Amino acid sequence: MKPLPLEQFERVLVVRTDHIGDLVLSTPFLRALRDGLPSAHITALVAPYTRAVLASSGLVDRILTESPEEDFQLAVCLAPRTHSYKLTYASGAAYRVGYYYAGRPLVAVATRLWLTHRARVVVDPQGVVAHEIDQLACLADLLGLDYQRRELELGIERPEVGERLVLHLGTRWFTGEWRVSHLAELAGQLGSVTVTHGPAEEAQAAELKALMPDLEVVGGLSFTEWATTLGAARAVISCDTGAVHVAAAMGRPVVVAYEP
């Protein structure tokens, strides 16, 4: 691999087009990139519904949801996904950095075309899987970035913490045997609780409200409003969804329910 002339990069593209939580977990890397390239113009290419995650962060100069029609000197692929690799390749950047998982031989071959600089990450399904924040360390190493800071950043002011709990109503609550009635029972045992939800959970939220008319159920929030609501909670209870990482970024303890 040809060495990366970090000090020469003025136009940088970062690709992360998957989920809210994944983008939140990428903020320590974006901080390292921002600090390592203070004069560069950094563009983030993200999914439309996640763009608000970076809007207040100050970590990037521009946020796009469609591939830009311009050339970049450096493109960094933050997700080991075929779609993200292709977007990185299409950027036209002379230097294209990303990582892939060991044990995926076809991807290993394809990334030789899509990327100029690659890191190989070993994931042992029978052992301890490195956290995504730690997986991104391999990209920081390739770029020669200082990646000591691992704090999640949203750039949203943390509110005063109250006494209420927040229960987030994500769709993954219902992929197994749980039903809305089970969540109603849980909410009833939590005491002072606010339930938040997104557009995909409107039907379940309405059903929950019908079962518990006095329960505070809140939807239709902007990302900043939602993050602030989570940030004011004594603790957040959620299934495995973006709320977990947003709450962590706002400094709140989280209880996560996973399917057995």
Residue 158 lies in a domain: no
Instruction: Assign 211 to helix, strand or coil.
Output: helix
Whole-angstrom Cα distance, residue 152 to residue 40? 22
Residues 171, 215 within the same domain: yes
Residues 71, 183 within the same domain: no
Q: What is the pLDDT of residue 28?
A: 98
Q: Are 230 and 247 in contact (CB under 8 A)?
A: yes
The domain in which residue 226 lies consists of 165-257
Residues 17, 122 within the same domain: yes
142, 132, 120, 143: which is closest to 34 by C-alpha?
Answer: 143
Q: How many domains does the chain have?
A: 2
**Residue 258, phi-psi category: left (phi > 0), alpha (psi -120 to 50), beta (remainder):** beta
Residues 14, 123 within the same domain: yes
Residues 192, 127 within the same domain: no
Residue 207 lies in a domain: yes
Record the tokens describing residue 68, joined without a space.
């830009």
218-247 pLDDT, tens digit per residue, is 999 999 999 999 999 999 999 999 999 999
Residue 105 lies in a domain: yes
Q: What is the pLDDT of residue 23?
A: 98
Q: What is the pLDDT of residue 1?
A: 61
Q: What is the pLDDT of residue 47?
A: 97
Q: What is the pLDDT of residue 2?
A: 62
Residues 121, 238 within the same domain: no
Residues of the chain with pLDDT under 50: none
Considering 85, 112, 143, which residue would you say is the last residue of a domain? 143
Q: What is the pLDDT of residue 89?
A: 96
Q: Are 4 and 143 in contact (CB under 8 A)?
A: yes
Residues 227, 193 within the same domain: yes
Residue 160 lies in a domain: no
Whole-angstrom Cα distance, residue 32 to residue 38? 10
Residues 14, 93 within the same domain: yes
155, 172, 166: which is closest to 52 by C-alpha?
Answer: 155
Residue 49 lies in a domain: yes
Residues 227, 115 within the same domain: no
Q: What CATH number is attached to the domain comprising 187?
A: 3.40.50.2000
Residue 37 lies in a domain: yes
Q: What is the pLDDT of residue 183?
A: 93
Q: What is the pLDDT of residue 70?
A: 87
Q: What is the pLDDT of residue 177?
A: 83
Residue 179 lies in a domain: yes
Q: What is the pLDDT of residue 155?
A: 97
Residue 108 lies in a domain: yes
